[in-house]
Amino acid sequence: MDKVIKFDSGLTLAVSPMRNTRSLSAGIFVETGSINETAKNNGISHLIEHMVFKGTAGRSAFDIADEMESIGANINAFTSKNMTAYYTVSTDEYAKQCLDILSDIYLNATFMEENLKREKGVIVEEINMTEDNGEDLCFELLAKAHFKDSPLALPILGTAQTVNGIDYQMIQDYMSKYYTADNTYIILTGNINASLAHELVGKYFEGKLKKTGRKSIELPPAQLTSKYICKEKAMEQANIAFSFPCINAKHPKRKALLLLNNIIGGGMSSRLFQEVREKLGLVYSVYTQPIQYKNDGYYVLFLGTSPDYVPKAIGAIKKVIAELKKDGITEKEFRKGKAQFKSKTVLGAESSAAIMRTNGRNLIMDEKLFNLEEELAQIEKVTLQDTRELIDLIFDLDKISASCVGKNINVDLLGALKG
């Protein structure tokens, strides 16, 4: 049975035993990311994520990798706007070893100067790669256009200037503030019971993180006004993205949003893909994606096309949106959307790693664990009227922003979609 355990220190443990599996996924989720950064230390969350793998008081970087590979386990991490996660995926017999190493990198990383200097260089190259990737850069510019002065507009990687400016003391100050027991969630999914999970987490984590009562900041929703950012780059494809108003991750209609997204631009049978790519051949790529946080979110529409096709592609997208706003979705689309959503949910529930990531995100966003039967019941409760209301909310063309990356994109994107 799934269980959430609160330790005296404020540390949270979530255990989700899974039947018919020999896998074990263990994750440490800390509720901090670029949302907690400033213009001065932007990129520090991601830099810390890299640095914890570079050595601890008792293990070198090679030792960490070698010990994990010696038991056939994988270890990895990621940083987002509002969380950072460190996790392992292994067979169930290696629960102790995985938690030992995870706790070591989380609690005892050394941040040696030579390693810090080297890893800054690696991250600057990662930033340069983003600059060369039209789609990634387009999304970064769209966040700036949509969220403007909010910390949500800051890039997760930071900039070359901010990353190079981060020093050891800044890292210690940041971790002291956010890498605390109150902000830490240990997630275990797979072939493990609550008793063993409690014992191992108590041994490796409890009492080793300070309790401050401090949580990650919660920002007010962005005040939406149209903004357009375009960056000229010498690349053949025009990368274009639009943002629309969206509900947050805790909203009661969040399941309806995911269902609706499948129909609008979430797959090969979606309206946008079929109309703009398959029927008209105007784009190489077109899709939609809701991106949600605790108190905010935005709905993104991305397309990649030739600069010559931009006006026609925007016109085709405008037509799809106009039809959605006028008529909503059909009963047939609604039934298909539910079937797709249910299937994706059931298949995802068979992976201990997927459940681990979902539980980490859910606890931070909404303080809930994934429950398959509840998820399916919530999907079943979605009505056609729910999708109608979301269409009216999302496609408010007075509140859209846009970004583009490419060369010779001489089109007023906001005007083209609104007009």
Active site residues: 49
Which among 303, 291, 308 is positioned nearest to 265, based on CA atoms? 303
Query: Cα(362)–Cα(85) distance, rounded to whole angstroms?
Result: 13
Pairing verdict, β 184-190 and 12-17: parallel
End-to-end Cα, the chain, rounded Å = 54
Cross-strand bridge partners of residue 73: none
Q: Answer yes or no: are the C-beta atoms of 219 and 149 closer than 8 Å.
A: no
Question: CA-based angle 215:220:226, to the nearest 5?
Answer: 140
Query: Cα(77)–Cα(156) distance, rounded to whole angstroms?
Result: 14
Which among 366, 211, 228, 368 is positioned nearest to 297, based on CA atoms? 366
Edge-to-edge strand list for the sheet holding 84-91: 3-6, 12-17, 184-190, 23-30, 84-91, 74-79
Q: 91 — phi, psi (to 5°)? A: -80, 160
Which among 134, 207, 122, 110 is positioned nearest to 158, based on CA atoms? 122
Q: Is 299 exposed, middle or buried (0-12, 13-18, 19+ CB in 10 A)?
A: buried
Instruction: Find the Cα–Cα–Cα–Cα dihedral 180, 182, 184, 188, rounded to 10°.
Output: 140
Cross-strand bridge partners of residue 244: 299
